[in-house]
Amino acid sequence: MPTATPPERLFYSFLEATPDAVVIIDEGGIIVHVNSQTEKLFGYGRVELIGRALEVLMPERFRGVHVAHRGAYLAEPRSRSMGRGLDLFGERKDGTEFPIDVSISRLPLESGGLFASAIRDMSDHWRREEELRARSRELEEADLQKDHFLAAVAHELRNPLSAMANATELLRSAHDDAAAQRVAGVIERQTAHMARLVEDLLDLARVRRGNVTLQRESIDLRRVVTSAVEVTHSIIKARKHELEVAPLAEPLWVSGDRTRLMQVVANLLSNAAKYTPNGGHINLTTTREDGAAVVRVRDSGAGIPHDMLSRVFELFTQIKGDGEDRSGGLGIGLSLVRKLVDLHGGTVTAFSKGLGRGSEFVVRLPLLPEPLYGGERSS
């Protein structure tokens, strides 16, 4: 027959095996025993804890409350969680704090008057809860953005479709070739607008999925700028803006995708035209600064509040202020600009002194080393 193990020995063996910190206290809340997990969790040695109040393991601000809760428990002892409904924290020997859950039970020992306080580190639990809350906020924001996006798409498509419908009616009643040509011009411009809208949507989807492959070559950035000005000529002219393009005598060679870089500059020019009241001024400069090719697009338009400068490149971001409706557009152009610039190893930054004081967007791209200057070639 095997020799029976004394119950007290079994009890203390169990304490050492449990994954929670267990502190044995007397009726006055004084520590009489701790297990090894308590030492690991709080950084104290056993001899440092025995004889001290249980509250030594908690931050100063919780000690008075915990004493009151402990007293209430001792008045009606039963197994329960003392942290239920409370945000309790433990305090390690080095002063660091961490969230805990505390359960307390009377020990059925002959010595009587002893209680076991089980303390569990809730750090991982809190972190998972915060991750879930953050994910929930992201989903709510995504749902809100989806609603804004659908409304913006409907708005953007309604205007050109309405113009094209009107143009069709005019075309039916046109009495001469000149009138027909004017109507055809309206249809052509509105069709181009919708085509650009669809292309931006498709491009953004491709970039977000990582499906864009740059067709890199050595490019003189001045030629990219010239192409972007040609592409945006009609919208700038329609808004009666004055576009000033500062000439640059020397070439600025970069490694990039000609079409995508032209798209970057064109989107910045279109953005400036859209958010600048008719008859405004747009300035476009291309320079060499600190080993980088720099493109600046500055306008005299609506401006950007200081707290929005870091958000204007986020998807579906739109700015309103001063009672003016600035909800036009889908809020995807600048997001696409940033993603394309990032793919080229560059940066894009927004600057503004506030609403009504214009905006400036600055694109910086790495220049190619000097030996590669002198002619375009595949890289």
Do 193 and 227 belong together in one domain?
Answer: no
Tens-digit pLDDT profile for residues 351-368: 999 888 999 999 999 999
Do 137 and 235 belong together in one domain?
Answer: no
Do 288 and 174 belong together in one domain?
Answer: no
End-of-domain residue from the set 96, 121, 146: 121
Do 220 and 365 belong together in one domain?
Answer: yes
In a domain? residue 156: yes
Tens-digit pLDDT profile for residues 14-40: 888 888 999 998 888 899 999 999 999
Q: Count the domains in the chain.
A: 3
pLDDT surpassing 80 at residue 259: yes
* Residue 150 domain boundaries: 128-209
Do 88 and 117 belong together in one domain?
Answer: yes
End-of-domain residue from the set 121, 149, 179: 121
Do 191 and 326 belong together in one domain?
Answer: no
Do 224 and 335 belong together in one domain?
Answer: yes
In a domain? residue 377: no
In a domain? residue 288: yes
Do 363 and 251 belong together in one domain?
Answer: yes
What percent of the chain is predicted at pLDDT more than 90? 37
**Beta-strand pair 21-26/114-121:** antiparallel
pLDDT surpassing 50 at residue 118: yes
User: In the prediction, which pLDDT does 141 show?
Assistant: 79
Do 248 and 159 belong together in one domain?
Answer: no
In a domain? residue 222: yes
Q: In this structure, are residues 54 and 23 in contact, taking their beta carbons and an 8 Å threshold?
A: yes
In a domain? residue 233: yes
Do 308 and 339 belong together in one domain?
Answer: yes
CATH number of the domain within which 80 lies? 3.30.450.20
Do 303 and 236 belong together in one domain?
Answer: yes
pTM of the model: 0.54
CATH number of the domain within which 246 lies? 3.30.565.10
19-22 contact pairs (CB < 8 A, 24+): 20/118, 20/119, 20/120, 21/118, 21/119, 21/120, 21/121, 22/116, 22/117, 22/118, 22/119
For residue 48, give the H/E element and its range: helix 46-49
Beta bridge partners of 114: 26
What tokens appear for 217 in the block? 């070559």
**Which has more confidence, 174 or 306?**
306
Do 108 and 140 belong together in one domain?
Answer: no
